[in-house]
A and B are shown apart, each in its own frame.
Chain A
Amino acid sequence: DSNDDGRKIYIVYMGSKLEDTASAHLYHRAMLEEVVGSTFAPESVIYTYKRSFNGFAVKLTEEEALKIAAKEGVVSVFPSEKNHLH
């Protein structure tokens, strides 16, 4: 699932859902802009998880993923892997 630019989809898990779910994507975007910088493309965010918990799925480089993992409020960051039907 890795792109030509070396980015692949990572899950950024941030725990319990925000009280203000409407602003979740803005909160996530601010965090991403800080980490990725001016090259951040909003379309790299695949999902915003906000209805039942807080997090997002986004295309990142490994370095960017490590930076986000160190951010306050981030519980875990891990690559989106393939699971299989049993």
Chain B
Amino acid sequence: TTRSWDFLGISQNVPRVKQVESNIVVGVFDSGIWPENPSFNDDGFGPAPANWRGTCQASTNFRCNRKIIGARAYRSSTLPPGDVRSPRDTDGHGTHTASTVAGVLVSQASLYGLGVGTARGGVPPARIAVYKICWSDGCSDADILAAFDDAIADGVDIISLSVGGKVPQPYLYNSIAIGSFHAMKRGILTSNSAGNNGPKSFTVTSLSPWLPTVAASSSDRKFVTQVLLGNGNTYQGVSINTFDMRNQYPLIYAGNAPSIGFNSSTSRYCYEDSVDPNLVRGKILLCDSTFGPTVFASFGGAAGVLMQSNTRDHASSYPLPASVLDPAGGNNIKRYMSSTRAPTATIFKSTVVRDTSAPVVVSFSSRGPNYVTHDILKPDSTAPGVEILAAWPPVAPISGVRDSRSALYNIISGTSMSCPHVTAIAVHIKTFYPSWSPAAIKSALMTTASPMNARFNSDAEFAYGSGHVNPLKAVDPGLVYDASESDYVKFLCGEGYTTAMVRSTTGDNSACTSGNIGRVWDLNYPSFALSISRSQTANQSFRRTLTNVVSGASTYRASISAPQGLSISVNPSVLSFNGIGDQKSFTLTVRGTVSQAIVSASLVWSDGSHNVRSPITVYVLG
């Protein structure tokens, strides 16, 4: 990416353990890869790490290199027309996410001049192993599990998975939860995207406590697209518009151009086939809604499209010159159109403005609460996922529908884009602390995250989790909330799974007994969530254990930030550690009433130099 890593504080010369980074293998489960993209140039790379056991499904049209050291494709049913049965990416998504994690430095990268800069992944020296699980019709559970089965055995160090299901599923009935559980058992963290079904509640489908679920936020680079009317007035819309119309074109309101079988009340929204292509040919079409690029085909030879939306927190690409205006701007344009016989407009190529409100969770990012386990907070954290420029196959359409353009870099948005940022930061942490468990890495990501502002994100922690990831702080968290397989087994027992189920899953003699059925509130999780009914008073204790990860003795003091009406206590409130690995436990108790649907509080353990922060979210369920 050309901006997000700098926005996160990871400059090109951030301290790295390069030799260790070069031995890290990132498993990217996605739509494949375009290996010839400059972001995957292997100049300067040595042979694959000695412990790598994976393979490359090479063919006449696909080769791995010393950067991409493994590639496999999984397809359990008939191949959709147009797809290629190889790890080659013809969609673009997998190439984009892989380069966001581990692309090498490429100067002067841009999408037709937009977002120009040095494109780079978060951990450029790391190796990539591609597991193609997604095709033009989706990514099946059977293929996802096959990829996990191989990747874990192949020796990947971390997995990036920007994929999810439509509806939440119980943990042991969900391919991502099962696969990531077995990865976790082998010390492999799986980073997973939260989903793009926001801003509705309960839309996160990645719910397993053993993986980080990543929400998407804006960065300070925002693409805007100016519209100039024939009367000289300009309006600022949003889009990723690589076209420059240069001249003024006639304007036409979609409400005045219904096709046969439609009337103004439907054509004004530009529903598919509702607009008469003969009337809009060569003109800029003004619509009263927004819609995806696929609808553009029904406009025939329109010169450009102006759309309207109240929500304009991310910009998309379209196959024609286009801009999304706010409704006030749209109304002004309509007034102009009714005031003149021959209204005209032009749409300029997009430019960049600085967004000082960033980072803000984007509207489409899926929201909590956790549908399966109400008292485990999801999503876990937030990373940039809006208007990210990264590598792209030259054969993949820029806007999702084919047009005349072809590019090696593209700008797209999604929690898919935020997930590989967290993957790379997790790799960065792992290079400093190779022996850390997935839970310890996840804890470092969460407890060092920068708090986000509920003023811009009304769903608070259900939008952003513990906050915006901070890679510079994440490599020095001070303390971590660690957890092992047995902790998650206790958790599963508490969730109602039987001894037989957990015993099969672990392969040992684990058992759900009266002494082993874990209360959800005692899973050593780096955040605290409590659901209560509308009439209920909160009264719940949470047991946690902190592990010191800094050498030397230290003393941490707890501080609580809580709104009125909520009493939160920590016992003990002072913890002394003697050195690396020293563990101390505490109990946090939440009591009181809540007057809002979501109440946010926080716990910070501080030794003066490290601030180990956990969100505490109390919410009314139902």
Q: Are B416 and A86 in contact (CB under 8 A)?
A: yes
Cβ of B506 under 8 Å from chain A: yes
Q: Chain B residues near A72: list those with CB within 8 A.
A: 500
Cβ of A17 under 8 Å from chain B: yes
For A15-34 the 0/1 string (1 means CB < 8 A from B) is 11100000000000000000
For B276-306 the 0/1 string (1 means CB < 8 A from A) is 0000000000000000000000000000000
CA distance A83 to B503 in the complex (A): 28
Q: Are B153 and A80 in contact (CB under 8 A)?
A: no
Question: Residue B138 contacts which of A9, A55, A83 (CB distance < 8 angstroms)?
Answer: A83
**Segment 22-69 of A: residues with Cβ below 8 Å from B:** 46-47, 49-55, 57
Q: What is the chain A residue whose CB lies nearest that of B165? A: A83
Given contacts A46-B142, A84-B138, is CB(A51)–CB(B504) below 8 Å?
A: no
CA distance A80 to B139 in the complex (A): 10
B166-174, B262-270, B545-553 - the one binding chain A: B166-174
CA distance A81 to B142 in the complex (A): 8
- The 8 tightest CB contacts between A and B, nearest first, are A16-B507, A15-B504, A82-B138, A51-B153, A52-B152, A57-B142, A86-B416, A86-B193
Q: Are B162 and A85 in contact (CB under 8 A)?
A: yes
Q: Are B145 and A57 in contact (CB under 8 A)?
A: yes
Question: Residue A9 contacts which of B77, B148, B415 (CB distance < 8 angstroms)?
Answer: B77
Given contacts A47-B145, A51-B149, is CB(A85)–CB(B93) below 8 Å?
A: yes
CA distance A47 to B186 in the complex (A): 22
Cβ of B150 under 8 Å from chain A: yes
Closest approach, in angstroms, between the C-beta of B424 and any C-beta of chain A?
17
Q: Chain A residues near B138: list those with CB within 8 A.
A: 82-84
Q: A46-B76, A83-B140, A85-B416 are in contact. List 11 more A-B contacts (CB 8 A).
A: A9-B77, A13-B145, A16-B182, A16-B504, A16-B505, A17-B507, A50-B149, A57-B145, A86-B163, A86-B193, A86-B415
Cβ of B137 under 8 Å from chain A: yes
Q: What is the chain A residue whose CB lies nearest that of B75? A: A46
Question: Residue A47 contacts which of B93, B134, B142 (CB distance < 8 angstroms)?
Answer: B142
For B399-425 the 0/1 string (1 means CB < 8 A from A) is 000000000000000111001000000
Q: What is the chain A residue whose CB lies nearest that of B497? A: A75
CA distance A78 to B141 in the complex (A): 9
Q: What is the chain A residue whose CB lies nearest that of B418? A: A86
Q: Are B162 and A52 in contact (CB under 8 A)?
A: no
Cβ of B196 under 8 Å from chain A: yes
Question: Residue B149 contacts which of A46, A49, A79, A80 (CB distance < 8 angstroms)?
Answer: A49
Cβ of B164 under 8 Å from chain A: yes
Q: Are B163 and A84 in contact (CB under 8 A)?
A: yes
Q: Are B165 and A81 in contact (CB under 8 A)?
A: yes
Q: Are B31 and A51 in contact (CB under 8 A)?
A: no
Q: Are B141 and A81 in contact (CB under 8 A)?
A: yes
**Segment 486-527 of B: residues with Cβ below 8 Å from A:** 500-501, 503-508
CA distance A50 to B182 in the complex (A): 12
Say which size band chain B's interface belongs to: 35 or more
Q: Are B419 and A86 in contact (CB under 8 A)?
A: yes
CA distance A49 to B149 in the complex (A): 6
Q: Are B416 and A81 in contact (CB under 8 A)?
A: no
CA distance A50 to B176 in the complex (A): 17
Cβ of B146 under 8 Å from chain A: yes
Can you list 29 A-B contacts with CB-CB less than 8 angstroms, sorted by A residue number?
A: A1-B140, A9-B77, A11-B142, A11-B175, A15-B501, A15-B503, A16-B504, A49-B146, A53-B178, A53-B182, A57-B146, A75-B501, A75-B504, A75-B505, A76-B173, A78-B174, A80-B140, A81-B165, A82-B139, A83-B139, A83-B166, A84-B134, A84-B165, A85-B93, A85-B134, A86-B163, A86-B195, A86-B415, A86-B419
CA distance A9 to B141 in the complex (A): 9
Q: What is the chain B residue whose CB lies nearest that of A8? A: B77
Q: What is the chain B residue whose CB lies nearest that of A78? A: B173
CA distance A1 to B142 in the complex (A): 12
Closest approach, in angstroms, between the C-beta of B246 and any C-beta of chain A?
35
Q: Are B175 and A51 in contact (CB under 8 A)?
A: no
Q: Chain A residues near B506: list those with CB within 8 A.
A: 15-16
Q: Chain A residues near B178: list those with CB within 8 A.
A: 13, 53
Q: Chain A residues near B162: list those with CB within 8 A.
A: 85-86
Q: Chain A residues near B149: list those with CB within 8 A.
A: 47, 49-53
Cβ of B30 under 8 Å from chain A: yes
Cβ of B144 under 8 Å from chain A: yes
Q: Chain A residues near B166: list those with CB within 8 A.
A: 81-84
Q: Chain A residues near B415: list those with CB within 8 A.
A: 86
For B63-94 the 0/1 string (1 means CB < 8 A from A) is 00000000000001100000000000001010
Given contacts A9-B77, A15-B504, A53-B178, is CB(A80)–CB(B164) below 8 Å?
A: no
Given contacts A55-B145, A85-B93, is CB(A73)–CB(B504) below 8 Å?
A: yes
Closest approach, in angstroms, between the C-beta of B284 and any C-beta of chain A?
32
Q: Chain B residues near A9: list those with CB within 8 A.
A: 76-77, 140, 142
CA distance A84 to B148 in the complex (A): 17
Q: Chain B residues near A1: list those with CB within 8 A.
A: 77, 140
Q: Chain A residues near B503: list those with CB within 8 A.
A: 15
CA distance A24 to B141 in the complex (A): 20
